[in-house]
Chain A
């Protein structure tokens, strides 16, 4: 296989992995290929972590990495004023150094207020391990990026849950756009995946945290209805719990009588 084809296949597999299981996927891929593919897999995981806004542990804090806080090969954390490299497999910060960041558009007081409001909202609505970030959007100084990640990983019971919502808010046009993306993986004696998402576009947004709260609460309520709907309609239409006769089948040589009965009922 050519090296570009190899990279393509590795990238596809990594991109298809549930967020809580990259370590296991890495170990499996090393076994299936060899230690030689280590760098290709790690590159794919780095790309995955940035694309999917994965939280990284930096000095005991959970810091989301993304294209918005990337500075060369490093990432900065405006809250704790540090810049760091990342061990993408362990999800840990390295070479942590002081870093002064000043936002071109928002004053520190304003940013702190936004942080506090977001944090208050998250406490009320996200029971998982929560991380959040407010980052500038490079070269578009009127825009900020708001990212929320909530995870609950329980590999001992073969399940992992992951929530991510990310928005761009334009302080001048007061437009809010973004995506909610959520997934659950359940893999005890099988492989079951729940995935849901929604694109968001809203204008005339003054109170950004309040708007996000409303959007996300509606999304959650809609999901509960969809679960109910899928069960009641689509699932029930696939296979009955019992035949119309409400009793189990009488197997054996007389089974043909069901067909005779049905044909008679249909007048055949």
Chain B
């Protein structure tokens, strides 16, 4: 695989019908199997849902970040389902014990956030260590996920992949870097009127912020600060993205549609069409 091939594949996925993203991804991998690993790890697809049998079948979200072989780790019990053989699970990725404590806190906090903003839906948070040693309040990474379905006709997936790293210049400052993708699908199909309408797709934004954390405090306090910083950063990003989605979906696409068809065009349009008009007249005269 070359970089040019990978870039071309990403460009294609930005052009092809976003409702068939998974299908197009599979087709591209079929055409060029070398692209499989890179594409699967860098293209966000709608999140799937699994149930945790050890926690009253509580639902959790799945993506490439909590996958091992064909199983997905639950944030509630820290177990992979379907359960892996003891041999397989020895090599499965888990956060270090102190980082898992922060992951539990983050899941709890974002679950409250989900309830307040989504009034339903599912959230899941997965962390992973960035250093060889156990988590000591410094560098770590993770993904924060939200999904909300309203019947088959609307679906929202938020995927925030982040990295928290100590700033090289100051030992008490951390750099929070978040890449957010929101996949939003809305449709309004009316079989009685033989009409269909669909607004669907995804938008991606990257955000970066430096925030100070008092490293002289106990690890538990430091961890709470990290979760609070991530929380308010993601809250801000989602608010901005929600505005952006609203503008693009309901204003921008509608404006563009009316640039192709508009029953109320003013006389100015006749000006631009004058040349075309002259052509047609010329053509008709030769009939």
> What is the interface of chain A, defined by CB distance below 8 A to chain B?
1, 5-6, 9-10, 12-13, 16-18, 21, 24-25, 27-29, 31-33, 60-62, 79-81, 108, 111-112, 115-116, 119, 122-130, 150-152, 159-163, 182, 184-187, 189-200, 216-217, 219-224, 226-231, 234-235, 237-245, 248-249, 251-253, 255-256, 258-259, 262
* A243 touches which of B11, B116, B198, B280 (Cβ 8 Å): B116
**Which residues does chain B contribute within 8 Å of A17, judged by CB atoms?**
15-16
Question: Whole-angstrom distance between the alpha carbons of A216 and B195 in the complex?
Answer: 13
B104 to chain A, nearest CB (A): 13
Question: Whole-angstrom distance between the alpha carbons of A189 and B199 in the complex?
Answer: 16
Task: Tell whether B173 is near chain A: CB-to-CB under 8 Å.
Answer: no
* B117 touches which of A81, A123, A243 (Cβ 8 Å): A243
Contact (Cβ within 8 A) A79 B287: yes
Contact (Cβ within 8 A) B260 A163: yes
Question: Whole-angstrom distance between the alpha carbons of A251 and B148 in the complex?
Answer: 22
**Which residues does chain A contribute within 8 Å of B238, judged by CB atoms?**
239
**Number of interface residues, chain B, beta carbon within 8 A:** 93
* A227 touches which of B193, B254, B287 (Cβ 8 Å): B254
Question: Whole-angstrom distance between the alpha carbons of A130 and B224 in the complex?
Answer: 60
Contact A182:B32 (CB < 8 A) given known A13-B27, A159-B256? no
A233 to chain B, nearest CB (A): 9
Contact (Cβ within 8 A) A115 B260: no
Closest residue of B by beta carbon distance from A258: B112
B246 to chain A, nearest CB (A): 7
**Which residues does chain A contribute within 8 Å of B239, judged by CB atoms?**
241-242
Question: Whole-angstrom distance between the alpha carbons of A183 and B250 in the complex?
Answer: 14
Task: Tell whether B186 is near chain A: CB-to-CB under 8 Å.
Answer: yes
Task: Tell whether B40 is near chain A: CB-to-CB under 8 Å.
Answer: no
Question: Whole-angstrom distance between the alpha carbons of A116 and B284 in the complex?
Answer: 9
Contact (Cβ within 8 A) B199 A194: yes
- Near A by CB (< 8 A), chain B positions 156-183 give 156
- Near A by CB (< 8 A), chain B positions 21-80 give 23-24, 27-28, 30-32, 35
Question: Whole-angstrom distance between the alpha carbons of A111 and B31 in the complex?
Answer: 48
A206 to chain B, nearest CB (A): 22
Contact (Cβ within 8 A) B231 A185: no
Given contacts A25-B16, A161-B257, A223-B257, 11 further A-B contacts (CB under 8 A): A16-B24, A163-B257, A184-B253, A184-B257, A192-B201, A195-B196, A196-B196, A226-B188, A231-B249, A234-B150, A238-B156
A267 to chain B, nearest CB (A): 17
**Which residues does chain B contribute within 8 Å of A249, judged by CB atoms?**
112-113, 116, 231-232, 235
Listed A/B pairs (11) with beta-carbon separation below 8 Å: A6-B31, A28-B8, A29-B31, A124-B263, A125-B262, A152-B260, A187-B15, A190-B203, A191-B18, A235-B184, A239-B117
Contact (Cβ within 8 A) B11 A235: no
Q: A-B contact count, CB below 8 Å?
A: 286
B119 to chain A, nearest CB (A): 7
> What is the interface of chain B, defined by CB distance below 8 A to chain A?
4-5, 7-9, 11-20, 23-24, 27-28, 30-32, 35, 108-109, 112-113, 115-119, 148, 150, 153-154, 156, 184, 186, 188, 193-205, 224-225, 227-229, 231-232, 235, 238-239, 242, 245-246, 248-250, 252-254, 256-263, 265, 269-270, 272-273, 276-277, 279-280, 283-284, 286-287
Closest residue of B by beta carbon distance from A1: B30
A203 to chain B, nearest CB (A): 15
Question: Whole-angstrom distance between the alpha carbons of A21 and B17 in the complex?
Answer: 12
Question: Whole-angstrom distance between the alpha carbons of A60 and B276 in the complex?
Answer: 10
**Which residues does chain B contribute within 8 Å of A199, judged by CB atoms?**
194-195
Question: Whole-angstrom distance between the alpha carbons of A126 and B265 in the complex?
Answer: 8
Contact A185:B15 (CB < 8 A) given known A192-B200, A192-B253, A252-B224? yes
**Which residues does chain A contribute within 8 Å of B229, judged by CB atoms?**
251
* A112 touches which of B14, B15, B195, B287 (Cβ 8 Å): B287
Q: 4 nearest interchain CB pairs? A: A192-B201, A190-B203, A251-B228, A31-B8
Question: Whole-angstrom distance between the alpha carbons of A243 and B262 in the complex?
Answer: 38
B260 to chain A, nearest CB (A): 4
* B202 touches which of A28, A79, A192, A237 (Cβ 8 Å): A192
Contact (Cβ within 8 A) B15 A21: yes
Closest residue of B by beta carbon distance from A115: B284
Closest residue of B by beta carbon distance from A13: B27
Question: Whole-angstrom distance between the alpha carbons of A251 and B109 in the complex?
Answer: 8
Contact (Cβ within 8 A) B265 A127: yes
